[in-house]
Amino acid sequence: MRILVYGAGVIGSTLAANLSKAKKDVTVLARGKWAQQIRDNGLVIDRQYSPFTLKAKVNVIEKLAEDDVYDVIFVVMRYTQLDSVIDVLKNNPSKNIIFVGNNLRPKAFSQRLTGRYVMFGFYLAGGHREEDRVCSIDMKKMSIGNLKESVSNETLVKEIFGDTDIKTAYYTNMEDYLLTHAAFVIPPSFACYHTNGDLKQLVFNKHYLNRIVEANLEAYRAIEKAGHSILPSSERSYESFQYRRACYRMYQLMAGTKLGKVCAVDHALNASEEMAALNNDMKAFFEENNAEYDNWKMLEAETNGWLLPPYKKEI
């Protein structure tokens, strides 16, 4: 099986290295100095909270040719970059396309790739890229699946991941999963912008941490009100005291430890244009469904301009 990982950022590099470790035939699409770095030294994944560094040799291309066919292409790019790759994918005959990452328009992307089998996934890892390596927390877990309108292709997923260290959870309604995930991750990104990346300011700020929890709950209510499901199903008890307490403690832990920098701050500050696009699409979803999201609005108003063009700030 030939596998292409289209995009070699933190997630793409980590995914490709894990697949290569399992003896898969993996190619990554990377560009510039990073492509040359991978050619010369392979993918180097410095796994945080682990004494082991993962090193993997993979094939490298800088452009997807029209006659370069793969059994599956993982598109691992930021939400704001996905439109730019659609025409490239259309001109390549590879049949199985899996978009990995944040996505609040999965139906639109699927419809633009007629004649292909399109799936969506989210790989649990985070971190940042350095000159010669990726520094990441790798949970080795992939939530993956099809849209409700598509036939399940769990067999392909098992073929890809069956003999790897990556655990998969297959869903037949990935649109609901992606909505739920966006509802969960956008409020903590507001906190990253509110503190300009210094989450330690919030460790003892009960009022602000509770507002993050409440914004998350507002979004979950809107999702269910619109007829979607909260996924994974373990999140469906979100109105309970236990859920609120668990979320509060998690946010407080992230604020007070390196975990917050690796899992939230690195991405939020380096991909603020992506978070702005997700936030805009999430608000459009709220408005379309007449949802109440007052806490969400208050948090958004306190993001120090990070969600406004040109998105990059000096801190």
Q: Is the pTM of this model over 0.85?
A: yes
Q: What six digits make up the tokens of 294?
A: 């007052």
pLDDT digits (tens, 9 = 90+) for 236-245: 999 999 999 9
Tell me the β-bridge partners of 224.
Answer: none
Token pair 């909505």 is at which residue? 179
pLDDT of residue 175: 98
pLDDT in tens, 218-228: 999 999 999 99
For domain 2-172, the CATH class is alpha beta
- Model pLDDT, residue 314: 77
| Mean pLDDT over each residue of the chain, to the nearest integer | 96
Alpha carbons within 13 angstroms on the beta-carbon side of residue 122 total 21
**300-305 long-range Cβ contacts below 8 angstroms, 24+ apart:** 300/190, 302/190, 302/194, 303/190, 303/193, 303/194, 304/193, 304/194, 304/196
**Tens digits of per-residue pLDDT, 134-166?**
999 999 999 999 999 999 999 999 999 999 999
What are the backbone dihedrals phi and psi of residue 201, each rounded to the nearest 5 degrees, phi first? -60, -20
Which residues sit opposite 122 in a β-bridge? 143
Query: CA–CA separation, 134 vs 126, rounded Å?
Result: 10
What pLDDT score does 48 carry?
79
pLDDT band for position 313 (cuts 50, 70, 90): confident
How is residue 61 written in tokens? 């291309």
pLDDT for position 254: 94
Q: How confident is the model at residue 66 (pLDDT cuts 50, 70, 90)?
A: very high
Mean pLDDT of 173-197: 98
DSSP-assigned states of every residue in 102-123: --S-HHHHHHTSTTSEEEEEEE
Give the tens place of pLDDT for each residue, 294-309.
Answer: 999 999 999 999 999 9
Single-letter code of the amino acid located at 174 = M
Q: Where are the domains of the chain?
A: 2-172, 176-300
**Confidence at residue 312, expressed as pLDDT on a 0 to 100 scale:** 83
Percent of residues, the chain, with pLDDT higher than 90:
94
Instruction: Name the burial class of residue 205, with classes exposed (0-12), middle (13-18) and buried (19+) by CB atoms within 10 angstroms of its CB.
Output: middle
CB 127 within 8 A of CB 10: yes
Q: Could you tell me what percent of the chain has a pLDDT over 70?
A: 100
Q: Residue 52: its pLDDT value, please?
A: 86
Asked if 247 and 210 count as a contact pair (C-beta separation under 8 A), the reply is: no
